[in-house]
Amino acid sequence: MSWRAAVRLRIGSLELDAEVQGREGPVAVIGPNGSGKTTLLRTIAGAFRPDSGFIEIGGVPVFDASRGIDLPPERRGVGYVPQGYGLFPHLSVIDNVAFPLISKGASRAVRQEGSRRTMERTGCAHLTRRATHGLSGGEQQRVALARALAAEPGLLLLDEPLAALDAPARREVRTYLASHLARERLPALVVSHEARDVRALGAEVLVLERGRVVQSGTVDALAASPATDFVAAFFEA
Amino acid sequence: MTRGGGAHRDGPGRALLMLAAPILLLLGVPLVALAVASSPSDLLAGIRSPVFAPALWLSVRTTVASVAVVLVGGTPLAWWLASGEGRAVRIAEALVDLPIVIPPAVVGIALLETYGRSGLFGAQLTALGIQVPFTTLAVVLAQVVVSTPFYVQAAAAAFRRVDRDLLLVARTLGQTRRGTFLRVALPIALPGLVGGAALAWARALGEFGATLLFAGNLPGTTQTMPLAIYAALESDVKVAVALSLVLAGASVLLLFALRMAPRAWSAFHGTTEEHA
């Protein structure tokens, strides 16, 4: 399983021109506010059409400007978890997790069984009977991840999965994310703004500034020789 | 966060209340006057008058038909207005607002100039043997034109409040555009759509000016409740008051339902403002 993307597009005042790739395991995207991190994720998910470039997930080209390929989001095999988790407020927890199976036309019994198994696998079986609005931030993140995994994506796109959590929940979800991403051996692109989170994920790091990749490599390599002030400050603490 | 708790120190002062009271009285007193104007026997006599039942029945039939048309045509329009951008959307938005600012009588004349014998489509309609003005169809057309803006504005606002990220998430979870609309956007926006539909229904129910000019005032065919009130006023004030009371009652019930529906909805679904 591998993925790569090289995209160029302009949205508002942002000019995104980035090349990223990864294999099994997480790649962390860091960068100042407005550097294009979320836009990069949403572009790979298919929300925007790049002016040029290509996106390949699990060996399948899902976008290629030169060949006129542009698969819609539902055929890209990506699992997107936005900031704020994106749980459907009108559905229960179990129906949220069963949602990808509805799309596949599974019967109700198959959906219930499949989502129950996914929730057990992702350690949130105890949340099955809960309503989405009563969940804590950490619980919402787990359910959102379970739902994304239920779709069996070739690439996970996580936008600031830890940002909205308080310190104890953050520690817990950080450990949870790291162990589950490692266990699922899934390629993932994770937007982050904390060095501790990036280290815990054991991720390769990609630094985005003003829409461009300014540095990439392991945490240790970046910390040892930061290319910009932002990278230096990021790993300082 | 808590509303309706103790008095806030920075809450409204007595002077503000004094300034606000006259307009409130202006709104409320006529309704009270209407309620006390007729005795129960007068009301009963009004309901038994030969004008009442046909007018009520016609109002029910035409408003149900026009709200159905508004829902079927207005929902895709509202979704397009909410999710689209650019010049075409802004022009369409202005067009949708027009019937609110244009006087109903003008709408009536405009409809006559469109579907009337000497109107824009007059020759074609006459050739097909179809007469629109002064028919029940004309009543429905007038109601649709004046009530559409109320539904479309409310529906577009409700659709705009649906988080764009939820729509992208639904797509990545395998739903097509259509599936995303039906399974995510529509259910989340539903309370807003219901509110807009109720407003549109109230506007259609009260429609008078455009109907009078475009459809006339023919008992059983085009004489809806408001037109029956107008007609009754010339012969028997008591009947007019009875009709008015029934119409006002229906509207107040509707308003009440409108106010309560979102609360009942969120109690049922457990959704709170956190998700709005």
Q: Amino acid identity of B149? A: P
CATH topology of domain B47-275: MetI-like fold (1.10.3720)
Residue A48 lies in a domain: yes
Dihedrals phi, psi of B173, to nearest 5 degrees = -90, 15
DSSP letter assigned to residue B161 = T
To the nearest whole number, what is the mean pLDDT of chain B? Answer: 89
Give A-chain residues touching B262 at CB under 8 angstroms: none
pLDDT bucket at B8, cuts 50 / 70 / 90? low
B168 vs A134: CB contact, 8 Å cut-off?
no
To the nearest whole Å, the CA of B71 is away from the closest chain A CA by 22
Are B170 and A88 a contacting pair at CB < 8 A?
yes
Contact between A5 and A19 under an 8 Å Cβ cutoff? The reply is yes
Percent of chain B with pLDDT over 70: 92
Q: How many domains does chain A have?
A: 1
Q: Specify the higher pLDDT residue, B164 or B238.
A: B164
Residue A98: inside a domain: no
Question: For residues A151 and A79, is the Cβ–Cβ distance under 8 A?
Answer: yes
pLDDT tens track for B188-230: 999 999 989 999 999 999 999 999 999 999 999 999 999 999 9
Distance of alpha carbon B132 from alpha carbon B216, whole angstroms = 11
Q: Where are the domains of chain B?
A: 47-275
State residue A224 phi and psi, 5-degree precision.
-70, -40
List A residues 103-122 in contact with B (Cβ-Cβ < 8 A): 103-104
User: How does strand A3-11 pair with strand A14-22?
Assistant: antiparallel
Of B79, B71, B72, B74, nearest in space to B156 by CA: B79
Q: Is the dihedral of CA A22, A26, A28, A34 positive or negative?
A: positive
The two three-digit tokens of residue B144, written as one number: 């649709």
Place of tokens 């100039």: B113
Q: Is A82 on the interface with B (CB under 8 A)?
A: yes
In a domain, A35, yes or no: yes
pLDDT in tens, B86-106: 899 999 999 999 999 999 999
Closest chain B residue to A147 measured between Cα atoms?
A: B173
The phi and psi torsions of A3 (rounded to 5 degrees) equal -145, 155
Length of chain B: 276
Interface contact flag, A82 B183, Cβ < 8 Å: no
Q: Which residue among B166, B175, B183 places its CB closest to the CB of A74?
A: B175
* In-domain check, residue A125: no
| A77: nearest CA partner in chain B | B172
B171 vs A46: CB contact, 8 Å cut-off?
yes
Q: Residue B172 and residue A88: Cβ atoms within 8 Å?
A: no
Q: Is residue A93 part of a domain?
A: no
Q: What does the pLDDT read at residue B272?
A: 41
- Beta carbons of B170 and B124 less than 8 angstroms apart: no
User: Closest by alpha carbon to A32, among A236, A174, A191, A223?
Assistant: A191
Residue A143: inside a domain, yes or no? no
Residue B271: its chain A contacts at CB < 8 A?
89-90, 133
Q: Give the pLDDT band of residue B266 (cuts 50, 70, 90).
A: low
In a domain, A163, yes or no: yes
Q: Best residue in A57, A88, A132 to probe B by mutation, most B CBs within 10 Å?
A: A88
pLDDT average, residue stretch B2-16? 67
Is A133 touching B (CB cutoff 8 A)?
A: yes
With respect to residue A227, please indicate whether it lies within any of the assigned structural domains. yes
Distances, alpha carbon B190 to alpha carbons B75, B177, B265, in Å: 11, 18, 10
What's the pLDDT score for residue A166? Answer: 85
| Cross-chain CB nearest to B173 (options A82, A89, A99) | A99
What is the predicted pLDDT for the residue at B275? 37
User: How many Cβ contacts (< 8 angstroms) between chains A and B?
Assistant: 78
Q: Write out the H or E segment, with its range, that includes residue A7.
A: strand A3-11
For residue B249, give the amino acid letter: G
Residue of A83, A86, A151 lying closest to B166 (CB–CB): A86
CATH number at residue A229: 3.40.50.300
Q: In angstroms, how far apart are the furthest CA atoms of chain A?
A: 54
pLDDT band of residue B252 (cuts 50, 70, 90) is confident
Cα–Cα dist A151/B30, whole Å? 60
Placement of tokens 């022009």 in the chain: B91
The answer to whether the Cβ–Cβ distance between B172 and A76 falls below 8 Å is: yes
Q: What is the pLDDT of residue A87?
A: 96
Residue A221: give the domain boundaries.
3-87+153-236
pLDDT tens readout for residues B18-72: 899 999 999 999 989 988 887 888 888 888 888 899 999 999 999 999 999 999 9
- Asked whether the beta carbons of residue B165 and residue A100 sit closer than 8 angstroms, the reply is no
**Does the interface ipTM go beyond 0.90?**
yes
Residue of A80, A83, A93, A160 to mutate, testing the B interface (most B Cβ within 10 Å of its Cβ): A80
Mean pLDDT of B70-87: 95
Cβ atoms of A198 and A28 closer than 8 Å: yes
Name the stretches of chain A with pLDDT < 70.
237
Q: Nearest C-alpha of chain B: how many angstroms from A97?
A: 10
Q: What is the mean pLDDT of residues B102-125?
A: 94
